[in-house]
Amino acid sequence: MPWTYDPQNIFARILRGEIPNKTVAETTHTLVFHDIRPHAPVHVLAIPRGAYVNFDHFAAEASAEEIVDFHRTVAQVIADLGLAGPEGYRAITNSGVSGMQEVPHYHLHILGGRVLGRLVDPA
């Protein structure tokens, strides 16, 4: 398997309650909380409770229940934060070196509250 999970990563520590977070929503399989260094008026992070390194790890190995719970929880948060409909938002995930992933626990960034610009800077 190409994925090696580091149980000492900061989001694993948040999930164990060792580090506080500003929770937006939580379910059996999913936690959503405010990013500590927001890049937009709304910037929350959705993470599965399971030990998955990145998106492709989660998509390949999480159970159907975890995957459905994660996405339905994100959709509910998007609605609750007033981002659904024409207002809109951006959902992004980073992985590895090219993606400049900082925390090696799968997370989806949900950003909104302003026009966010182009997705990627021109090289």
Q: Which residues are the active-site residues?
A: 107
Report if residue 76 touches ligand 5GP, rule: CB under 6 A.
Answer: no
Least spacing, CB of residue 105 vs ligand 5GP, in Å: 8
Q: Where are the alpha helices (DSSP H) in the chain?
A: 10-15, 55-61, 64-80
31-70: contacts with ligand 5GP (CB under 6 A): 33-37
Which range touches ligand 5GP (CB under 6 A), out of 57-65, 73-81, 83-91, 98-106? 98-106
Which range touches ligand 5GP (CB under 6 A), out of 58-66, 68-76, 80-88, 95-103? 95-103
Q: Which of 77, 63, 67 is nearest to 35 (CA)?
A: 77
CA 51 to chain centre: 13
Report if residue 102 touches ligand 5GP, rule: CB under 6 A.
Answer: yes
Q: How many residues bind ligand 5GP (CB under 6 A)?
A: 13
Q: Give the contacts of 114 (CB within 8 A, at least 6 positions apart).
A: 40, 41
Is residue 64 packed enough to be buried (19+ CB in 10 Å), middle (13-18) or exposed (0-12)? exposed
Which residues make up the interface to ligand 5GP (CB under 6 A)?
10, 19, 21, 33-37, 94, 100-103
